[in-house]
Amino acid sequence: MTGDIVIEEVEQGYAFDGPTLDLGALYWDGQTRPEAQIHIPLRMLNRHGLVAGATGTGKTKTLQLMAEQLSNQGVPVFLADVKGDLTGLATAGTPSDTVSGRAAEVGQTWQGVACPVEFYSLGGLGDGVPIRATMTDFGPTLLSKVLALNETQESSLGLVFHFADSQGLPLLDLKDLRAVIQYLVDTPEALKGVGGLSKATAGVLLRALTNFEAQGAERFFGEPAFDTLDLLRTTPDGRGVVSVLELPAVQDRPEMFSTFLMWLLADLFSALPEVGDPEKPALVFFFDEAHLLFTGASRAFLQSITQTVRLIRSKGIGVFFVTQTPKDVPADVLAQLGARVQHALRAFTPQDAKALKATVSTFPASPYDLEEVLTGLGIGEAVVTVLSERGTPTPVAWTRLAAPESLMGPSSPDTVRRIVAASPLNTKYGEAVDRESAYEMLTTRLAPHPHPEEEQQVRREPAEHHTKPEGVVASVLGSTAFKSFARSAGTALGREITRTVFGTSRRKR
């Protein structure tokens, strides 16, 4: 196939009618061809995608480039920032010879621009607005993944959550869950009719929770619980807010933050209405270090991920998995992805060579020797194929990527702190709250009853004490009838809790 034919096919294959993200220009026969621009149709971004490549090949800059353009077109973005590099989105880029040269090469009109950014942190570990979840919201399936439980232990943990839900016992933090497990061990008849919780399994669960807490996990769970709809905000001038979850402080707990990202996605899935096939996404969610999510996952967990990715498209959410090689993502999930931005791969070991061949086999037919191209890509280059507006794959294109217009490096700590301090969400989520929940309720339930002589002493108190308004209220609140009503109401409330495919609760907004 001649160069002219390849260039013409790429020009036609990436010529779309609607708004697009502009990735860069075709690279062919040792030259960049700015006349052949590489785009992704905006309306096809809810068909999901993959950004893959070895460490140091430019994946982070690709995320930055895409996030900027999505924000400019009114689409909110969520990014997990594992290394702290993406804070640069909040600062306008500075011109340089390198940036000017790349822009001229790919036909880009470059201008330094900052994005509207909201910084978050898990449980307040970092400078961002704290993100917390209650245990009830997080659910047993995701928690089992974090605790590395086997399928039998996961089933037992699900039974614990079922009991708490049905009894109106709010599971807000780790001590609540421990209290319910201990209560079920001490009161085995509580689970009569729905199975039991063996002391051996309960011991495993309690030890896992203790180790989890020793890692500082108690900060991630509690109230106020984060409302994921806050990720869907736009500015008064119509730009999408870029939500950056700062993770450097917890990068040594990868299973924790990767599973927390899945909770955010699962909660969005349960919260958003069906919108069909919108002109542009309601949110694009970049799932960094995606391989951590799938490592050691149970079969039920993987099925839940596949179902969520398949169905969340109709909620207007686009998901991009970011990882090193496509083999990090299970085949059933990979089959749901419409866009591919593949940076360079390394083939230093037999396993690397096998992964390279597997990656090449997943691309459409192309004029390239992809095994050679993928191992020879430079920094800021990628092999791209996306879905056209008609839903067909575009030609495979070796692409020189455009330069981000925000700062290609971290923003100053003062800039980050200033943005966080000015955020209206600080008032909403800044301070942790510890209200009455399962731990306090079960402590009260198991407390010893007053001695009969003490009860008689209460009855001998002068009647005038019970005529005061506060005495009347106390009398009503303490009455057997009110307590019975409260227990019934709590149980009814608990039964209203329904759970998603991930076991997360469907919260009322």
- DSSP states along 173-192: SHHHHHHHHHHHHH-GGGGT
pTM for this predicted structure: 0.86
Percentage of the residues of the chain whose pLDDT score is greater than 70: 87
Res 299 pLDDT > 90 = no
Mean pLDDT value across residues 268-293: 90
Mean pLDDT value across residues 440-461: 62
Mean pLDDT value across residues 331-343: 92
Q: What is the pLDDT of residue 443?
A: 86
Mean pLDDT value across residues 107-126: 94
Percentage of the residues of the chain whose pLDDT score is greater than 90: 58
Angle at 134 (CA atoms; ends 128, 140), nearest 5 degrees? 120
414 vs 193: CA distance, rounded Å: 58
Q: What is the pLDDT of residue 478?
A: 47
CB atoms within 10 A of CB 450: 11
Backbone angles phi, psi at 43, to 5 degrees: -75, -10
For the chain, the straight-line distance linking the first and the last C-alpha, in angstroms and rounded, comes to 57
- pLDDT single digits (tens) 451-491: 555 555 544 554 444 444 344 334 433 444 334 334 433 44
Res 328 pLDDT > 60 = yes
Q: What is the pLDDT of residue 493?
A: 41
Q: What is the pLDDT of residue 217?
A: 86
Contact of 400 with 25, CB cutoff 8 Å? yes
Beta strands in 162-299 (DSSP E): 242-246, 283-287
Residue-averaged pLDDT of the chain: 86
Domains (range + CATH), the chain: 3-132+223-429 (3.40.50.300), 138-222+448-509 (no CATH)
How confident is residue 18, by pLDDT bands cut at 50, 70 and 90?
very high
